[in-house]
């Protein structure tokens, strides 16, 4: 069996090459067992591999996302990569791609400037307490604030807010120790050239560090909207492979993520 495959780099950092978050996009012409979907994701060894399958209605697609470790319920950069590939290859005929996912219906439109706007659900957060093993695994610098994030899959998600961008840039967590806490961490701080910066560490989900994480911005956006009193912000995910995006307030309970994706390679997966 052969399946069309593309690797896209989502949310690149301007025109700088080799930035943004790589995602694999696989077009399925038939269903595969989950073991095969996970196996391909492990072989790709990217933070996410997206699986698309055409539905009966125009421009509507079933979409699933797998890390090398498990299936996730929401992924931003691989949705952007999927939409960009569908638009570029003429598989979306109208102005909007619609994806049916574990997080409900996600919509992506192509803007006049060539970027893409994704309509995603906000992910809530509540005040939490600093967890000593998590703080130690992150390097020991005490965050200004800690929030618990509403997620599933049995793993805990926290957002650690730091005082300065330099702290987030300089983080060098002990990934093994962080994985032992079963906690994935969004680290964020006010930005210098952008409104805010972040990094995402997800060893509990099989990803040591995700370069530019769309789903994390479903929590980051409402947090920084409230803190800064704005409804449109520029964001940058820093770290070894940085990237940039914009976040905008959407309808009630929704957030709009705006970014671009670059097509890196095309091929065929044989199983």
> What per-residue confidence (pLDDT) applies to 154?
62
> What per-residue confidence (pLDDT) applies to 14?
85
CB 79 within 8 A of CB 118: yes
Query: The pTM is what?
Result: 0.95
Residues classed as catalytic = 48
> What is the rounded distance in angstroms from the CA atom of residue 72 to the CA atom of residue 134?
22
> What per-residue confidence (pLDDT) applies to 29?
94
* Per-residue pLDDT tens digits of the chain, which is 271 residues long: 999 999 999 999 988 899 999 999 999 999 999 999 999 999 999 999 999 999 989 999 999 999 999 999 999 999 999 999 999 999 999 999 999 999 999 999 999 999 999 999 999 999 999 999 999 999 999 999 999 998 755 679 999 999 999 999 999 999 999 999 999 999 999 999 999 999 999 999 889 999 999 999 999 999 999 999 999 999 999 999 999 999 999 999 999 999 999 999 999 999 9
CB 147 within 8 A of CB 126: yes
> What per-residue confidence (pLDDT) applies to 153?
57
> What is the rounded distance in angstroms from the CA atom of residue 116 to the CA atom of residue 260?
6
> What per-residue confidence (pLDDT) applies to 212?
97
Q: Which residues contact 203 (CB under 8 A, 6 or more apart)?
A: 175, 176, 178, 179, 184
Question: How many other CB atoms sit within 10 Å of the CB of residue 95?
Answer: 9
């Amino acid at each position: 069996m052969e399946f069309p495959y593309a690797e896209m780099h989502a949310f690149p950092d301007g025109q700088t090459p080799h930035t943004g978050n790589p995602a694999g996009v696989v077009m399925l012409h038939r269903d595969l067992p989950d073991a095969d979907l996970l196996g391909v994701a492990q072989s790709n060894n990217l933070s996410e591999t997206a699986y698309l399958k055409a539905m009966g209605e125009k421009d509507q697609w079933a979409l699933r996302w797998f890390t090398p470790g498990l299936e996730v319920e929401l992924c931003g950069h691989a949705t952007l990569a999927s939409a960009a590939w569908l638009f570029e290859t003429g598989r979306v005929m109208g102005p909007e791609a619609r994806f049916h996912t574990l997080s409900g219906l996600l919509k992506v439109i192509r803007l006049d400037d060539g970027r893409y706007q994704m309509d995603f659900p906000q992910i809530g957060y509540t005040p939490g307490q600093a967890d000593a093993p998590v703080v130690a695994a992150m390097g020991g610098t005490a965050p200004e604030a800690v929030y618990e994030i509403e997620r599933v899959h049995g793993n805990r998600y926290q957002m650690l807010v730091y005082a300065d961008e330099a702290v987030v840039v300089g983080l060098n967590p002990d990934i093994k120790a962080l994985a032992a806490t079963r906690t994935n961490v969004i680290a964020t701080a006010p930005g210098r050239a952008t409104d805010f910066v972040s990094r995402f560490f997800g060893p509990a989900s099989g990803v040591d560090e995700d370069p530019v994480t769309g789903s994390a911005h479903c929590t980051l956006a409402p947090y920084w909207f409230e803190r800064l009193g704005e409804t449109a912000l520029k964001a940058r995910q820093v770290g070894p492979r940085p990237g940039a995006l914009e976040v905008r307030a959407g309808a009630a309970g929704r957030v709009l993520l705006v970014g671009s994706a670059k097509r890196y390679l095309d091929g065929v997966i044989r199983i």
